[in-house]
Structure formats: structure tokens, C-alpha cells
Amino acid sequence: MTRWLSLAALVVVIDQVTKIVVSRAIAYGNGIEVAPFFNLVLVHNKGAAFSFLSSAAGWQRELFIAIAVIACVWVVYLIRKHPQQTLFCFALSLILGGALGNVIDRFALGAVIDFLDFHAAGYHWPAFNVADSAITCGAALLIWDSLQTREKPLS
């Protein structure tokens, strides 16, 4: 259990440090071109993924915090219940760390700090952050894990 919670804590630390660095280096709403397909920007997302509900009247902050807290409790329960499933617990740790990283922003700022902006042919993917990346990688690993065949225990 300790290694999985440590991994989640590492994700939180990396997420929060990168958000602090970007917030100090870039003025809100501005960006820095890093490569022809990638910018560092500073935006605040009051909504969920892809800015879902970002223009709502403010009630979404508490909703997203509540959802994240409930999800974190559930993830910790699952990690405790299945400690022998390494890939499963690794994936859940990434999701836990990402969820906690974003919920910290929602508590402190009322929005999530996003700063990674990938683009091609004039189309910009919605900006995201390290926490979002951890959640996405964790979800992909959960899918991968669910597709793995498992040996059935002998009865």
C-alpha cells in the first residue's frame, strides 16, 4: 500500500511543482512557443475535461471537488483490496495522484491550472497538465489491465 500511495504523492508533487513554475514564468492567458506543435500556456479551467461546464455559475467547483474526493476514497479502497495486482494498483495510483493534484487547484484557485498546449494544422488540443496526463495514462493502463488474461485459481 505504501508504494502505491507514494507514487500518487509523487504525481501530486510533480503536478504542483510544474504548475507553480509555469504560473511564475508565464502571465495568465499568454504562452511560449516551445516547438512548432507545442506551446506552454497558462489557463485556468473551471470545468472538467475539455472545459465541460466551465461557463457554469460556479456551482461546478463543489461538484467536481466532491466527485474527486469520492473517487479518491474509492481508489484507495481498491488499492487496499487488490495489492497483489501490480498493474492495476499502478494505474490507480496514477489516477489518484492526478485527481488529488487537480482537486488541490480547485480548493486553492477554484479552477485547475492547465499549461500544456499541443497543436497541429491550426487545431489546438485543449490545454492540460501533469495531473490530467497521469489520469489519462492510468485509465489507459486500467483498460490494458482489464484485457489481460488471468489464470483462474484452482478450486
Q: What residues in the chain have per-residue pLDDT under 50?
A: 57
The predicted-structure confidence for 134-143, as pLDDT tens digits, reads as follows: 999 999 999 9
Domain count, the chain: 1
Q: What is the pLDDT of residue 47?
A: 66
Q: What is the pLDDT of residue 54?
A: 56
Residue 116 CB-half CA count within 13 A: 10
Active site residue 132: yes
- Given strand 31-35, what is the order of strands in its sheet? 31-35, 38-45, 112-120, 123-124
CB 132 within 8 A of CB 98: yes
**pTM tops 0.75, yes or no:** yes
Domain with 118 in it: 2-15+49-122+131-147
Cα separation, 40 vs 28, in Å, equals 11
Residues 15, 114, 117, 145: which is the catalytic one?
114
Q: What is the pLDDT of residue 45?
A: 86
* Residue 40 resides in a domain: no
Active site residue 114: yes
CA dihedral sign, ordered 43, 48, 52, 56 = negative
* Residue 153 resides in a domain: no
Q: What is the pLDDT of residue 124?
A: 86
